Structure 1
Amino acid sequence: MSEDETLTFNKKERVCSKLLIDRLFSHGGSSSMSVYPLRLVFQQMERNEGEPSVMLLVSVPKRCFKRAVKRNRVKRQVREVYRRNKHILSQVMDGRETKKLVMALIWLDDQLHETSDVERCVGLLMQRVVEKI
């Protein structure tokens, strides 16, 4: 993979399928961890041909921010931080050709945070996932 491909976050890498979301949250086998203000839910699943090794869902509940502008700002922050640091997980999961990692990052706080704080939290969560898998 070239450097340009690793610094993207395209449609294939996003969890959009209702079935995939249900498997992540409903069925057993998912693990969860938190670094305030984020909670990470993740599960290893079978990987089909052409699928990325790591997939992500970003969720900011309406109860945290009533205004869509703030929810969208937080989602943009989290996606950008993930995009810059996803190589941590991709390197580990690319070695496992039959497995993919499906993750959901859920915002817990009702306050906005600096991007540097969000980056620290996402980095810690990714390191903890690498240790656990």
Structure 2
Amino acid sequence: MYENPIEEHKNLVFPKKEKLKNKKLFEQLFSEGKSMSAFPIKLLYTKAVFDDDVSIKVGVVAPKKKFKTAVKRNRVKRLLREAYRINKPLVFNNIEGNYAFLFLYLSNKIPNYEEVEGAMKELLKTFLKKESHEKIDT
């Protein structure tokens, strides 16, 4: 993909400024956000305005109702973040505008990485198709 391994590494990081932390934005995602899913992941997203120079901010959720122990919830969230980090160039290179993403884990069992990454790729590709289609319509 890239000739320069340092340049490739810069694109595959998930820095603090790309993490979704704004409580109002979280609430907006649940109330007004659009959604799509590829089992076992659901993506909620909405257009947003950020103060910093980031085009996408991302949050991940593993429900306490399905994973009682913090160890299991953290494992699921770690897998979601890693799958996003690896596949984020799919979105960053092909999107216009600013978005807030929230990835929700839907299944009851702890996944393996391959399941999560496959669903993540499918979701990001579907998101790109849907958003580029909406730009053409408007």
Q: Same fold (TM over 0.5)?
A: yes
Tell me, yes or no, if structure 1 residue 64 matches structure 2 residue 66.
Answer: yes
Q: Which is greater in Rg?
A: 2
Q: Deviations over 1:89-111 (max 9, x none)?
A: 10122xx3xx2111100011110
Q: Name the CA distance, whole Å, in 2 between partners of 1:74 and 1:46.
A: 28
Tell me, yes or no, if structure 1 residue 128 matches structure 2 residue 126.
Answer: yes
1:14 to 12, 19, 29: 19
**Greater fraction of residues in helix:** 2
RMSD, matched Cα: 1.5
Report the 3-state secondary structure (helix = DSSP H, G, I; strand = E; otherwise coil) of the residue aligned with 1:32. Answer: strand
Report the 3-state secondary structure (helix = DSSP H, G, I; strand = E; otherwise coil) of the residue aligned with 1:131. Answer: helix
Report the TM-score when normalising by structure 1. 0.88
Report the TM-score when normalising by structure 2. 0.85
Tell me, yes or no, if structure 1 residue 38 matches structure 2 residue 41.
Answer: yes
C-alpha deviation, 1:17, in angstroms: 0.8
Q: Name the CA distance, whole Å, in 1 between partners of 2:112 and 2:29.
A: 29
Which aligned pairs between 1:107-118 and structure 2 lie closer than 5 A? 107-118=105-116
Unaligned runs of 5+ in 1: none
Q: Name the CA distance, whole Å, in 2 between partners of 1:82 and 1:71.
A: 17
Q: Deviations over 1:33-81 (max 9, x none)?
A: 1111111101122344x33111111000101110111110011111011
